[in-house]
Structure 1
Amino acid sequence: MIGSTVVYMVTVGLAQVTSLLLLPIITRYLAPTAYGEYTLVLATTALVGTLGSSWIRNVAMRLHFDFAREGRSAALFATAALMQAGILSILMVAGYVWTRWVSDPVSLSTYVAGAVAVLVSDAYALTTNTLRAEQRASAFGVAEITSSLLRLGGTWVGLLVGYRTPAMLFVFATVALLVAGAAIVPQLRGSLAGPRVLDREAARELARVGLPSVPLWVGSWFMTLSNRTFLAWYDDLSAVGIYSVAQGVGERAITGLALGLSMMAWPAILRVWIDRPRETPRLIGTFVLIYTAMTFGPAVGLAVHREAVIDLLVGPDYRDASAILPLIAAGTWLIGLAGFLNRALELRKSYGTLSGITIGAAAVNVILNLWLVPRHGIVGAAAGTAGAGIVMVIVAAVVAVRIEPLPIPWLAVSGVVAATAVATLVSWPLTAPIPAIGVFGVVYTPLAFVVSRHGIKEFSHHGA
């Protein structure tokens, strides 16, 4: 319904605003080396999360509808929660050894704080995924907004009073998620059916469907976060910090919007796939249009006004990040587009094919990083991601679209490109950060909405 759409959009918008506000706050208190340590631990614990829980959580959402029809959704949730917590706990030890090997010594307290943050955030994500599957948009919105505001406020206060360490960033993120998670437990209980017990059949089904997707999630990590490891190996933590700032800006402006769109639309697509499968390709094609409308303009805006964006959002020690922002924006946008083109494969549980596509693109990224990072530093790392994004989109277009042809509304997509061109021309002469970025957004947003409004109405009609 349109109400759910509004809730998701407001939630995503507020989450992105608070996330953007965090970046200038953190980078004005933490030096590049300290921020580099934080992001390196974040990348390592994310890899552990990829191996230990991402595949479980993703498949659990896909299987939720099957188990809900049988009145066993509570057993699926309990089984998935126990599986990911157990596997994560074991793998975190290996992750610390990896971190010490690839870089200068990383504080044990920072790593422990990061590990606990991943354990809590993955349990929280499993909970919110279930609420999304049940289309409880209000509960999801309350949880996300609560955690975002608490993390912003807690981190800011902590930095002001002198807790200026990488570990502190993880601690306040963990506290925010714990409070938000506690607030939605009653809603979760009302969404699950059957006894909350460890179910062997559910565990077998999660493993059977999910294990072939592990290479998919590992490949995704190598596509987006492994660059920090290569920079730590060939350069230093300061380079990791500067690169991570540029990547963070790209993620907040592009990936964050894409994830918000996925949260809004994916449950509706799953329901249409189950009830009226013939309508699904057209809906995914509309999905691609809305992704383009939401993210193409911001990606181009980041590239065009890169120096203004960096000056506005981060501290002066990180200005070198502007040099790689266009490459980061291009790579991030292309990887996101490939993910939407691959939705038909995910509906069919073709995780082996998805894994092959992602691993192939990740291999390109690794090869480019091994060649370019020793020679060009952070520019080489960013170029590797952009090159991998190009490969991933080409392969996705050839493989995934052949399996399920998508009727993409190309005329509307062309309108989005035209809107981006107009916004660029109008804002190009402006050099001050706020006017340049503000004018681009004011011109682009209404134009993009007009050309994609039919797609938004279609998702609202299907309950997104």
Structure 2
Amino acid sequence: MLLQHSALYTLARGLPGLINFTALAIYTRLLAPEEYGHYALVIAAVGLANAVLFQWLNLGLLRYLARYRDRKPIFLSTLVAGYLAVVILSAMLGLVLWSCWPEAEMRALIGLGILFLWAQALFDANLQMAASQLTPQRYGLLAITKSLASLALGGTLAWWGFGAAGVLWGLIGGLILAVVLWAREEWRHLSPHHVDKGLMGQLLSYGLPLTATFALTFVVSSSDRLLLGWLQGSHSAGLYAVGYDLPNQALGVLMMVVHLAAYPLAVHALEQKGRGAAQVQLKKNAIGLLSIALPATVGLVLLAPNIAQVVLGAEFRKAAVALSFWIAIASFLAGIKAYYFDLAFQLGQRTIVQVWIALVAATINLILNLWLIPKLSIMGAAYGTLCAYLSALVLSMMLGRRYFKLPIPGYESLKILGATFVMGLALWPLLSLEGLMGLSIQVFVGMVSYGLFVLVFNIADSRILLFNRLFPERRTI
């Protein structure tokens, strides 16, 4: 089931990921670095607000919807009551921020940022519901519709000269359209009479520690661009945001594909069959995550110059190449922590420990950013981010085993490392290729060489599974 769901989520997240890459290519050609910096600052601020205000609802939905599937109207009514309460709170906070902000251009974007925050939170809830209910098809329809509509509307408005505001309007329109088209039926049986105070307390007690964790994690991932905007202006923030997003989005999509397919299966195994079954599933999850993330990281590092040339506008390429190695490694470490080692706290229901880990990482990141950005500009921000993610991963590995033991597939990891090394050797003679055709050749050779040695090393029983699929009458397992 993991392979089947991973394949579906690859389409559901992979196609939007390609669309987002296209959006990055378009926006870096239509927006100047300063305009992109304004857009990036709004996205960072909304992401932080979403993590602080709304994530406890989405995390509770993902964790408990399977348990309350027989009382779904009560569960969803309680969830919506929490959402509406947070909407009112965020509206008041947004009004205060708008009245106090000194810069007129950014003040005009604050109202759009609030609308974007509400739309993003609603969209995220529907994505989590689709993932929790093991319906990757609906998940894909939501994600693909949002990406296509956002790019079409935002790109058109940016081309017409609306700048950062046009891109934000495109995002808002895409989020709302996706929910209206594919998720409105889920909310038909809502009623204020179904709101359960006990359930609300359960959502709060589970989700609030994770909310603090997400907020602090977001400090690590996005405070750097906010500090760059403060210390060195929107131009530097825009350059860094593009250089960060290029590898981070690519790796994030790939790793999230595995997580979306794998985590609900682990939860279901734990709830229905106990810890032993969950650990069997978790070992498969770890192998799947590493087998995707490691070669993708190495490929992004090796091919960074040509990827930047093909994807980005000319003003953004030099900074993106300089950042690529450090941000790719940081994104890999962050994904391994978030999508595997942090599961020990979530499955063990000790999410409060994640708060302290995230607090340490956020503190390291802020101190290093404040120290290094004035000296090294965008590279200082990258070094700070890498150190923060590394410290968080080490702490998560050390502390998580106290609450839920996660299997470490050492032998399979060595085989994945070997297949990735072979892929790097195959790519090395092709690094001088340039342009879209050159990048296509590089990606093809990398995928074929890695895939071949996945079969040679029989990673995750891939050779046996392929044999059984090709010759079902001679099945070996």
* TM norm. shorter chain > 0.5: yes
Deviation, structure 1 residue 152: 2.5
RMSD: 2.7
- The corresponding residue for 1:184 is 182
Contact 2:244 2:327 in 1 (8 A): yes
- The corresponding residue for 2:17 is 16
Contact 2:155 2:170 in 1 (8 A): no
- The corresponding residue for 1:270 is 267
Q: Structure 1: where are the runs of 5+ without partners?
A: 459-464
Contact 2:12 2:137 in 1 (8 A): no
CA separation of 1:285/1:167 partners in 2, compared to 1, >3 Å: closer, same or farther?
Answer: same
- The corresponding residue for 1:307 is 305
Deviation, structure 1 residue 14: 0.8
**Structure 2 matches for 1:329-348, cutoff 5 A?**
329-339=328-338, 340-348=340-348
Q: Deviations over 1:175-232 (max 9, x none)?
A: 1121211122355258x89987332222222222222333211111111011111111
* Structure of greater relative contact order (alpha carbons < 8 Å, 6+ residues apart): 1
Deviation, structure 1 residue 393: 1.4
Q: Deviations over 1:54-97 (max 9, x none)?
A: 122112221222322xx332222222233234324423554686
Selected match of 1:169 from 142, 167, 187 = 167
Deviation, structure 1 residue 52: 0.6
Q: Distance in 1 between matches of 2:101 and 2:373?
A: 15
- The corresponding residue for 2:295 is 297
Q: Distance in 2 between matches of 1:155 and 1:367?
A: 36
- The corresponding residue for 1:373 is 373
Deviation, structure 1 residue 260: 1.9
Q: Deviations over 1:316-361 (max 9, x none)?
A: 0112221111111111110111111111210122111111122212
Q: Distance in 1 between matches of 2:130 and 2:150?
A: 21
Q: Aligned AA for 1:137?
A: P
Contact 2:6 2:257 in 1 (8 A): no
Selected match of 1:443 from 440, 449, 465 = 449
Q: Aligned AA for 1:84?
A: Y
CA separation of 1:90/1:455 partners in 2, compared to 1, >3 Å: closer, same or farther?
Answer: farther
Q: In terms of mean alpha carbon deviation, does 13-22 or 102-111 score higher?
A: 102-111
Q: Distance in 2 between matches of 1:205 and 1:442?
A: 48
Q: Distance in 2 between matches of 1:229 and 1:299?
A: 26
Q: Distance in 1 between matches of 2:327 and 2:102?
A: 23
Q: Distance in 2 between matches of 1:393 and 1:99?
A: 37
Matched, 1:52 2:53: yes
Q: Aligned AA for 1:388?
A: A
Deviation, structure 1 residue 306: 2.0
- The corresponding residue for 2:473 is none
Count of residue pairs brought into register by the alignment: 454
Q: Structure 2: where are the runs of 5+ without partners?
A: 466-477
Matched, 1:286 2:284: yes
Q: In terms of mean alpha carbon deviation, does 85-94 or 47-56 score higher?
A: 85-94
Q: Distance in 2 between matches of 1:404 and 1:449?
A: 32
Q: Distance in 1 between matches of 2:157 and 2:415?
A: 45
Contact 2:361 2:392 in 1 (8 A): yes
Q: Aligned AA for 2:367?
A: I
Secondary structure, aligned partner of 1:403: coil
Contact 1:103 1:232 in 2 (8 A): no
Q: Distance in 2 between matches of 1:203 and 1:20?
A: 38
Selected match of 2:227 from 227, 230, 253 = 230
Secondary structure, aligned partner of 1:406: coil
TM-score, normalised on structure 2?
0.88
Q: Distance in 1 between matches of 2:288 and 2:102?
A: 40
Q: Distance in 1 between matches of 2:243 and 2:464?
A: 34
Instruction: State, as a whole percentage, how many aligned pairs show the same letter.
Output: 22
Larger gyration radius, structure 1 or structure 2: 2
